Chain A
Amino acid sequence: MADISVRIEEFDVVIVGAGGAGMAAAVQTGMAGLKTAVISEVYPTRSHTVSAQGGINAALANMDEDYWIWHMYDTVKGGDYIGDQDAMEFFTKNAPKTIIELEHWGMPFSRTEKGTAYQRAFGGQTRNFGESIAHRATAVADRSGHAIVHTLFERTLRPDIVQYVSYYSEYYALKLLRNEEGTVMGVVAWDMVNGGVHIFFAYATILASGGNTRNFRTNTNAHVNTGIGWKLCAQAGIPIKDPEFVQFHPTGIYGVGNLITEGVRGEGGYLLNAQGERFMKKYAPHVLDLASRDVVSRGMATEIREGRGVGPKKDHVLLKLDHLGKDFIMDKLPGIWELAYKFVGVDCTKDPIPVQPTAHYHMGGIPTNIHGQVVDWDKDNKEVPIPGLYAAGEVGCGSLHGANRLGCNSLLDLVITGKEAGRHAARWILDEHPTFPNPPEEFVADKYAKDVMDKLNELFDGPEGTVKMDEIWEDLQDTMQADMSVFRIEEGLTRQLARLDEYFEKFKKVGLSDKSKVFNTELCEYFDLENMLYVSKIETVAAYNRKESRGAHYRDDYPERDDANWMLHTAAYWKEDGSVVTEYKPVRQKPLTAPTFQPKKRVY
């Protein structure tokens, strides 16, 4: 048997993920004086929030008149009416004060002439319920994500908070601990640097492990975005809500996928096809390139499908922005200049950037209520919180974004849901004094981490394996891109489900060639691949079963939205035999105070 050490620690709160959502939660639990562990596969400032560019939405009205209700309307409409409107109200109403709080914590916002925070236009953001374009994306040049991560990290370093918050960087979460009653009691993680299993017991566990579109060939995601949170929940019997809604960002750099912010179009850039035509006028006559992302991506994919794509393979389009002027670009969009120059050798002050729709974001995730408590449904389809478990940021699903997220709502999502999950968890612990049914001292690794230990022993002691991870990985990305992309059809989805079964079979034959316990990245990649297989299966089954088109989920064989039959959330359950079963749950259509926005045809 491999000699695997086990350490056990107790905390009040354990947070999985040290990106924007995780750290926003840590600020709250730290301020409440609760002993908090933040575990992450990478150092906090390496988290993928850092890659966000454009900004963070809030009706601050710094540029022109604006109200949260307009923001809420845009969010409901952008989500194609399947979002939970109570969460959307909470979210948009709290946006302005959240942004102001970030500013107070030192976020270096770009400024207006008046000295207030600078706001730019972004896709799907309008004034007066669709009347004209709003300037709502509060920006730090085009480095807003970097600024948020650093600001939140800095906040947790303040003496009053840092004494309660411990970062466990380079720990890889492997299992969610649940007792017989279903209460979540913490996580089991792998200590990447030293090797060994580390069990974190906590009254509250907050999952903030981020997104997971690494399973597509072209994606904007970091290498670490493989779907740890979804897999942990799937294996613990917790459903995934609306996994079929995968956002394709219109402007990933052709061939490599790096994100070019929608802010480029917000500032006046636009898309061109091979004929030099500004094609978005056909798909969104009012706001053109500033329609919501699903509409723009579908427009681009349609141009490409009909032979008007650019390049020898006619498989991408062009994003023109040189007319904005060099000074403006270098002041407001310096990061994208660098990316385009470095990755495709394009000087965007002179030439257009080649772009293609690129897998970017999951609107779905671990189901939560507005407080970030993870919920399951009882037999009457009522939401019931799972004690001790919270989810925030992209891994969770409020559902704030419905079937399609608007640009700059994700940074807002992570700070608001992170904060609320942290605040609610702290309050719950302080008010309710939860205890575990058994005192944690009695728990031993054999009882709670036996399966993890068995798996690790098998990997370290077992053979190298007859299948290389790379084979599965490459095929998975290619086939997901081919059949689970912007356009989906039953035939392709059936094909993909069969392939996924094959990949799972092949995965059983994968072993480790590196048996070292110190910083074994092959071991991490093994779990990365497992995460991606889980995510792919869950989202493909849900996409197969949703027989309509809504938001980012477009079925060629069911091209219309079907409110009569499909105004429902998917809840996808992972079964022990490896199958995925979907159930359908009601949408929370009633906001907290505002009137319900009734479904309408979505025109931009």
Chain B
Amino acid sequence: MALHVGDKVVFKIFRYDPEKDKAPYYKDYEVEIRREGMMVLTGLNQIKWEQDPSLTYRRSCREGVCGSDGMNINGVNTVSCMSHIEDYNSNVLVIKPLPGFPIIKDLVCDFEDFFNKYYVVKPYLIEKNPPPGRERLQSIEDRERLNGLYECILCGCCSSSCPSYWADPDYLGPSAMINAARFVFDTRDEGSDERLDAVNNIHGVWRCHTILNCISACPKELNPTKAIGMLQKEILKRTY
């Protein structure tokens, strides 16, 4: 559905203010298309700045690298700043906070549990031997193995889209796992054993049931399911 400048779209937005509301509700807002290819975030800003300053959401870089504005738009998790309104082929956009995350207010979720799970995989380079005086050498091919892993922006879209993550409160989730893989498959890292230990359990890599929601949810087009599979293989390789 092509949208043109001047067209109107309805944003049906999840609202909840813990100080005022007994229960969440949806509120409709009319958003005017003001440039071709307008993003959902621009629509949210239009509402906040011109209609309802109390509408609450996170945003920062507005170009898909900071990961602030993960939310659920017409049933799919993504970052609003990189989502064209017209791509939803609908006059109505239903906008909700990330499913499965505790809600603070409106579209703002609590990320504490999400980050605590990220910390579990020891997301930092572990070196056992002192590094050389210059940079460590790494071949172009070895560096290429990190492509598709290091670009994660920690927006939470993948973990929040995962039914296993909703069902098992202790499941580390696809985001933590792709970050574990980013170090396990880095030839410079020497901490893979302890890192693989952290994910080799029923709340780690073995909780993934290849539902594949995380792949369609990732705004950076990464493939967390594949990363989890790579970790599973690596664990098996080391064990047997």
**Which A positions have Cβ atoms within 8 angstroms of B?**
42-43, 45-48, 50-51, 60, 99-100, 103-106, 108-117, 140, 143, 145-147, 150, 154-155, 157-158, 193, 222-224, 255, 258-259, 335, 338-339, 342-345, 469-470, 473, 512-514, 516-522, 525
Tell me if A100 and B134 are in contact (CB < 8 A). yes
Give a binary string over B1-37; 1 marks a CB under 8 Å from any A CB, 0 the rest: 0000000000000000111100000000000000111
- Given A46-B61, A47-B66, A146-B65, residue A158 in contact with residue B104 (CB < 8 A): no
Pull 26 A–B residue pairs with CB atoms less than 8 Å apart, ordered by A.
Answer: A43-B68, A48-B60, A50-B66, A99-B135, A100-B133, A103-B136, A104-B125, A104-B127, A104-B136, A105-B124, A108-B146, A110-B143, A111-B142, A115-B139, A115-B140, A143-B65, A146-B65, A154-B124, A222-B66, A223-B60, A255-B35, A258-B62, A473-B49, A517-B19, A518-B104, A521-B57
CB of A30, distance to nearest CB on chain B (Å): 13
CB < 8 Å neighbour of B151 from A46, A145, A146, A512: A146
CB of B75, distance to nearest CB on chain A (Å): 21
Tell me if A342 and B82 are in contact (CB < 8 A). yes
Please provide the chain B residues from 167 to 211 with a CB less than 8 Å away from any CB of chain A in the complex. 183, 186, 188-189
A193 to B102 alpha-carbon distance, docked (Å): 13
Tell me if B104 and A519 are in contact (CB < 8 A). yes
Closest to B19 in A: A516
Give a binary string over B143-173; 1 marks a CB under 8 Å from any A CB, 0 the rest: 1001000110110000000000000000000
Tell me if B49 and A338 are in contact (CB < 8 A). no
CB < 8 Å neighbour of A106 from B17, B59, B125, B153: B125
A473 to B49 alpha-carbon distance, docked (Å): 10
* Chain A residues within 8 Å of B53, by CB: 469, 512-514, 522, 525
- Given A46-B60, A48-B61, A342-B82, residue A111 in contact with residue B143 (CB < 8 A): yes
A99 to B50 alpha-carbon distance, docked (Å): 45
* B73 on interface, CB distance cutoff 8 Å: no
- Given A48-B60, A516-B105, residue A114 in contact with residue B66 (CB < 8 A): no
Tell me if B65 and A470 are in contact (CB < 8 A). no
Tell me if B60 and A470 are in contact (CB < 8 A). no
* Number of chain B interface residues as a range: 35 or more
* Chain B residues within 8 Å of A344, by CB: 37
Tell me if B61 and A116 are in contact (CB < 8 A). no
Tell me if B183 and A45 are in contact (CB < 8 A). no
* B54 on interface, CB distance cutoff 8 Å: yes
Tell me if A157 and B124 are in contact (CB < 8 A). yes
Tell me if A109 and B135 are in contact (CB < 8 A). yes
A228 to B231 alpha-carbon distance, docked (Å): 43
Tell me if A108 and B60 are in contact (CB < 8 A). no
**Which B positions have Cβ atoms within 8 angstroms of A?**
17-20, 35-37, 48-50, 53-54, 56-68, 82, 84, 104-106, 108, 111, 115, 119, 122-125, 127, 131, 133-140, 142-143, 146, 150-151, 153-154, 183, 186, 188-189
* Chain B residues within 8 Å of A519, by CB: 56, 104-106, 108
CB of B126, distance to nearest CB on chain A (Å): 8
CB of A161, distance to nearest CB on chain B (Å): 9
Tell me if A43 and B104 are in contact (CB < 8 A). no
* Chain A residues within 8 Å of B65, by CB: 50-51, 143, 145-146, 335
CB < 8 Å neighbour of B124 from A45, A103, A106, A113: A106
CB of A316, distance to nearest CB on chain B (Å): 14
* Chain B residues within 8 Å of A106, by CB: 124-125, 183, 186, 188-189
Tell me if A104 and B124 are in contact (CB < 8 A). no
Listed residue (B20, B50, B58) with the most chain A CB atoms within 10 angstroms of its CB: B58
CB < 8 Å neighbour of A518 from B19, B135, B138, B153: B19
A143 to B143 alpha-carbon distance, docked (Å): 14
A309 to B108 alpha-carbon distance, docked (Å): 42
Closest to B131 in A: A104
CB of B206, distance to nearest CB on chain A (Å): 25
Listed residue (A108, A345, A517) with the most chain B CB atoms within 10 angstroms of its CB: A108
CB of A495, distance to nearest CB on chain B (Å): 25
Tell me if A154 and B125 are in contact (CB < 8 A). yes
A343 to B65 alpha-carbon distance, docked (Å): 14
Closest to B41 in A: A223
- Given A104-B127, A146-B151, A158-B124, residue A50 in contact with residue B61 (CB < 8 A): yes
A339 to B219 alpha-carbon distance, docked (Å): 13
- Given A108-B143, A342-B82, A518-B18, residue A258 in contact with residue B63 (CB < 8 A): yes
A174 to B115 alpha-carbon distance, docked (Å): 26
- Given A193-B104, A518-B18, residue A115 in contact with residue B138 (CB < 8 A): yes
Listed residue (B56, B57, B125, B135) with the most chain A CB atoms within 10 angstroms of its CB: B135
CB < 8 Å neighbour of A42 from B48, B66, B151: B66
A145 to B131 alpha-carbon distance, docked (Å): 23
CB < 8 Å neighbour of B135 from A100, A145, A154: A100
* Chain A residues within 8 Å of B136, by CB: 103-104
Known contacts A50-B66, A100-B135; 9 further A-B pairs (Cβ under 8 A): A43-B68, A106-B186, A106-B188, A109-B143, A110-B143, A222-B66, A513-B54, A519-B105, A522-B54
Tell me if B63 and A114 are in contact (CB < 8 A). no
CB of B118, distance to nearest CB on chain A (Å): 9
- Given A46-B66, A46-B67, A103-B135, residue A469 in contact with residue B49 (CB < 8 A): yes
* Chain B residues within 8 Å of A335, by CB: 65
* Chain B residues within 8 Å of A470, by CB: 49-50
- Given A155-B124, A222-B61, A343-B37, residue A45 in contact with residue B135 (CB < 8 A): no
- Given A114-B137, A222-B61, A222-B62, residue A42 in contact with residue B68 (CB < 8 A): yes
Closest 10 CB pairs of A and B: A106-B125, A115-B137, A514-B54, A154-B124, A103-B135, A46-B66, A470-B49, A522-B53, A104-B131, A519-B105
* Chain A residues within 8 Å of B153, by CB: 45, 50, 146
CB of A453, distance to nearest CB on chain B (Å): 20
